[in-house]
Structure 1
Amino acid sequence: MVWDKHAAASYARQHAGSSSHSRCAEFTRIAINAGGGEISNTRHAKDYCAVLEAAGFRPIGPGESPRVGDVVVIQPYTGGNPSGHMAIFDGTNWYSDFRQRDMWAGPGYRSARPAYKIYRKN
């Protein structure tokens, strides 16, 4: 299947809830697959870097702005969810299992600003 970043972003937008249900990786993975990304499952959001790269996604460079279909994988921070976080961008908003205020998905991530990578598939 050919990668359709707009279909993936649309799926995420249509299926996101109003608040988190701690299922960010599952919802993001399903959205990617709905767009033809064909990625496998891992237990934790933080572990999707290798899975995304195996599916042809590549980290964007420093200073590059996110685009439709880009996926962020955020590592955990002390005191936060040990699974980390994952979300997809629709060109305006970030979505995981909910519509996020920003890429950071919550005050803990926003404050701690742990390591992250944004991936893009062309």
Structure 2
Amino acid sequence: MPYDGNRAANYADSHVQPNSTGNCAKYVRKALEWGGATLGRAHFAKDYGPVLEEGGFHTVQTTPRKGDVIVIQPAPGHPSGHMAIYNGTVWVSDFTQNAGPQGFYPGEAYRTAQPAYKIYRHDD
């Protein structure tokens, strides 16, 4: 089955927790696989860029669309980094993140430090 960003984002939306569980990479990976992506594994969210590229994703520098994935490098106190999927309105990982211009940053430490990030889109 080819990757379907709508299906992946809908899966992510239906599996969110009320707050972060510290398992963003696992939740996003499962959503991507539900959407049809075939992915390897990385231990930390910050290391998923090459895994996504091997799975047919490429970096984009445009407005995100439903099914895109963001990989964010570590922030102080968060050495694993973060990843989330865009549901068409907000970014979702293991929880629904804040809306707004920096909504992809999952918490105050990230919003303050503003670490590097890349957005990935599947080659369809």
Question: Between the two proteins, what is the percent identity of the paired residues?
Answer: 49
Corresponding position of 2:28? 28
Corresponding position of 2:97? 100
- If the length of structure 2 is used for normalisation, what is the TM-score? 0.93
Which segments of 5 or more consecutive residues in structure 1 lack a partner in the other structure?
A: none
Corresponding position of 2:117? 116
After the TM superposition, list the runs of 4 or more consecutive aligned residues in structure 1 that deviate by more than 6 angstroms: none
Quick check: 1:73 aligned with 2:82? Answer: no
Give 2:25's aligned amino acid. Answer: A
d(CA) in 2 for partners of 1:29 and 1:46?
A: 13
- C-alpha deviation, 1:38, in angstroms: 1.3
Which segments of 5 or more consecutive residues in structure 2 lack a partner in the other structure?
A: none
Give 2:28's aligned amino acid. Answer: T
Q: How many residues align?
A: 119
Give 1:98's aligned amino acid. Answer: F
Corresponding position of 2:12? 12
Deviations 1:21-60 (A, max 9, x none): 0000000000000000111221000000000000110000
**Where does 1:75-94 land on structure 2 (aligned, <5 Å)?**
75-77=73-75, 79-94=76-91
d(CA) in 2 for partners of 1:87 and 1:80?
A: 18
d(CA) in 2 for partners of 1:70 and 1:10?
A: 12
d(CA) in 2 for partners of 1:103 and 1:18?
A: 17
Quick check: 1:52 aligned with 2:52? Answer: yes
d(CA) in 1 for partners of 2:67 and 2:92?
A: 10
- C-alpha deviation, 1:80, in angstroms: 2.3
d(CA) in 2 for partners of 1:41 and 1:56?
A: 14
Deviations 1:86-120 (A, max 9, x none): 00001001110001112101111111100000000
